[in-house]
Amino acid sequence: MGKIKLLSEQIINQIAAGEIVERPCSALKEVVENSIDAGAKNVYIFLKNGGKTKMVVEDDGEGLSSEDLSMCILRHATSKLSGMNLFEIQSYGFRGEALPSIASVSRFSIESNGLGLTANFSEVSDPFPSKITGGTVVTIEDLFSRIPARLKFMKSDGAELSACISVIENFAIIHRDVNFTVRSDDKCILSFQNDTLPERIARIFGRDIFERSIYFEEEDGTIVVKGYLFHPLDSKYSQEFQRTFVNGRIVRDKTISASIRNAYRDLVIPGRFAVSVIFIEIDPFYVDVNVSPTKSEIRFRDPRYVQKMLTDSIRRNLQRFDKVDRGISSTSIGISENKDIVIDTRVTDYLIDESDLRLRDGSNSILSKISFSSPIKSERLDIFDDFKMDNEFGEPLCQIFDSYIVAEKGESIILIDQHAVHEKITQEKILKELKTENKQHLLNPEIIELTRRQKEFISENEHNITQCGFEIQINNNLLMVSAVPAVMDIQTAILFINDIADSKEDLLPIDVMRHKIADIACHNSIRAGRKMSHGEMQAMLKQMEETKSIHQCNHHRPSFIRITKEQIEKMFHRR
């Protein structure tokens, strides 16, 4: 008897489901697409436990005939193709695998025009009378409950709900003529009703940053590009805030991502992503949407042409941003926890000579009462007169390439990366100072507008945020920041709050948050390319001895290399 066997229809459907339905938001996307293709003007969504336990999608579209009702959950049945050319796909339609795949991994029901049927994990019922006489209602319950291997990859209710919200936000952007309402556990959490496109984008991304964006539109041959480009200073740590639509579909594409990155290259610091909403219209012949079952990935026939056109268009329009920094003034005065004066000097250099700081009358008598708040505490490295050779890292001999310290210890020489070492030293100091009481109060509290998702995240993480030295208060969709950690300047601290608010996680442990703050705060440590005095090198070696895990920098690269006399002699063939 042969070993190769045909899979059952149920297993085939479950395999297809794994390609199409990864989580509740995937199922939601497929069902809402059908509602839109049916001409719905109003779509109502109910979610329980982020869609894991129950999901209901109700629309006022044209509905299904009795014949279509039975066909819609059969594999490879579709309303997309008028002929046999896969490249003709321009609508959403009933996908060939979507509904039967969903029905194979859930308790599924669909009702329309007086009829309904159920599919209990692929066990399809006979049609039955339904009270739904207009539009269509799809109900999905207990998704993946019989497939533990898939169920364990589901995230928390909050994370799944956020993913579902993102799906509806994307539909709301591209289908401005459709109203969407989302309820979760009997609470309305999202509603787009008769809004303009700018109004919808402003609600999704935040009105404050949207008001700084610019609209652009350009055409070149077979491609039209238009949308909104956001100010470079409003960049995020997450690429989720780049929404790109090709022929009416939200897509992820390397060509488009590279275009945005290249256009913003000199305006956005590494590790951050520009915010944008871009619509691309192109002849369907020049784009393949069948790269993935979910149609979320595409392939352009001429990616070089698309990338050049998009990059050039964005780059030209970015020049329209004025060059005035929208940040707060360069010097802000507030009252610190210990009532001393705090001056935010926006210092970017590490070393500050107090003799260079004078009051207007030329005196320097109150400097002892002034603490300088910058990305790192501004201070000189102490020079140790009693520096001894018994230090673990020996005696500094010289500095080479203005980047590395050469030290001698016993029968070894040590090459020290001055930036890597000082970054680690600075981070450890900052971590020790990140306490609730070490904060600087702001004379004028900063007000940040929050999206719904940001508000939920800040609320859930409020305790950990305050433990790091922030003082915050949430009022409706506004966040008031009245104090920030003493180790950060105000502008950097506000940027940090915005960034963590965009986190995809439900909770950010306090140790993770503290390390994020430390990474930002010590960004301006001693850099390669700065000459150091002998005393400064001595001080650095001493501080290395007192810093834990000094063998590697914050980015897990080695901070120093030890070469023994024996190794050197082998290089010269003396051994």
- Provide the 10 A C-beta neighbour count for residue 331: 9
- Tokens 């050469």 belong to which residue? 406
Stretch among 70-84, 137-151, 209-223, 311-325 having the lowest mean pLDDT:
70-84
Task: Tell me the C-alpha distance between 322 and 494, whole Å.
Answer: 22
341 inside domain = yes
Which CATH number do you get for residue 467? 3.30.1540.20
Torsion of CA 381, 387, 392, 394, to 10 degrees: 100
**Based on the domain organization, do 442 and 514 belong to the same domain?**
yes
Out of 141, 163, 195, a domain closes at 195
- Tokens 């060939």 belong to which residue? 96
Please, which pLDDT band fits residue 2 given cuts at 50, 70 and 90?
low
Please, which pLDDT band fits residue 191 given cuts at 50, 70 and 90?
very high
Mean pLDDT, residues 279-285 taken together: 91
436 inside domain = yes
**Based on the domain organization, do 377 and 491 belong to the same domain?**
yes
pLDDT at 86 over 50: no
pLDDT tens digits for range 171-185: 999 999 999 999 998
pLDDT at residue number 81:
41
pLDDT tens digits for range 446-469: 998 888 888 888 888 888 888 888
pLDDT tens digits for range 368-385: 322 333 333 333 344 344
Both tokens assigned to 535: 């005393």
Which CATH number do you get for residue 231? 3.30.230.10
How much of the chain, in percent, has pLDDT values that exceed 70? Answer: 76
pLDDT at 434 over 90: no
Please, which pLDDT band fits residue 290 given cuts at 50, 70 and 90?
low
Q: 444 lies in which domain range?
A: 327-353+368-575
pLDDT at residue number 426:
81
> % helix / strand / coil in the chain, to the nearest 5?
35, 25, 40
Which CATH number do you get for residue 31? 3.30.565.10
Both tokens assigned to 101: 């795949």
Its pTM stands at 0.64
What lies within 8 Å, CB to CB, of 246 at 6+ separation is 253, 256, 280, 281, 282, 287, 298
pLDDT tens digits for range 544-563: 988 877 887 766 678 889 99
Number of folded domains in the chain? 3
Q: For the chain, what is the mean pLDDT? A: 78
**Based on the domain organization, do 338 and 288 belong to the same domain?**
no
Please, which pLDDT band fits residue 138 given cuts at 50, 70 and 90?
very high
**Based on the domain organization, do 401 and 507 belong to the same domain?**
yes
**Based on the domain organization, do 142 and 187 belong to the same domain?**
yes
pLDDT at residue number 521:
63
Give the torsion sign (CA, 273, 274, 279, 280): negative
Q: Where are the alpha helices (DSSP H) in 21-118?
A: 24-37, 66-71, 98-104
